[in-house]
Amino acid sequence: MIVEQEVSKSIFMIAVGKEIFRLRKKRGLSGKQLSERLNISQQQVSRYERGVCNINVDTLFVILHELDCSLSGFFSSVYLNVNNVEKEIGTHYINLFLPPVPYYHGENAFSVKMSKLVG
């Protein structure tokens, strides 16, 4: 179980980092430009993007603000990255990434959540 948790943790760190990298590139920012906006070193930005360094919530919020990305949009993309790499882990943690939705007649909440995420 401990090994499984460590694997899960590293998959999430890498997926978070990849998404930060993707958003930074999408915004046309260099690592240096983002580091200056965040008042951290360019090396630290690189560590976050490669998933080799834990990122705290405060820093993540500031990064997402600078990259003009919502939490829900960010974590939806992170989930898709995790699910593409390791479907079993993605399935295990799916409820953390999807917003709660009410029960609809004729459909269960899981199918509605999945259709909203992938549809």
Calpha distance 29→32 (Å, rounded) = 8
Residue 2 has pLDDT above 50, yes or no: no
Calpha distance 81→75 (Å, rounded) = 10
Contact between 62 and 38 (Cβ < 8 Å): yes
**Residue 101 — pLDDT band, cuts 50, 70, 90?**
low
Residue 100 has pLDDT above 50, yes or no: yes
pLDDT for position 3? 44
Q: Can you give the pTM of this predicted structure?
A: 0.76
- Phi, psi (rounded to 5 degrees) for 104: -105, 145
pLDDT digits (tens, 9 = 90+) for 15-68: 999 999 999 999 999 999 999 999 999 999 999 999 999 999 999 999 999 999
Domain boundaries, the chain: 2-118
Residue 104 has pLDDT above 60, yes or no: no
| CA gyration radius, the chain | 16
Record the tokens describing residue 44, joined without a space: 């630290």
Calpha distance 32→38 (Å, rounded) = 10
pLDDT digits (tens, 9 = 90+) for 67-85: 999 998 999 999 999 999 8
2-118 in CATH: which number? Answer: 1.10.260.40
Considering only residues 33 and 107, tell me which one the structure prediction assigns the higher pLDDT.
33
pLDDT for position 102? 59
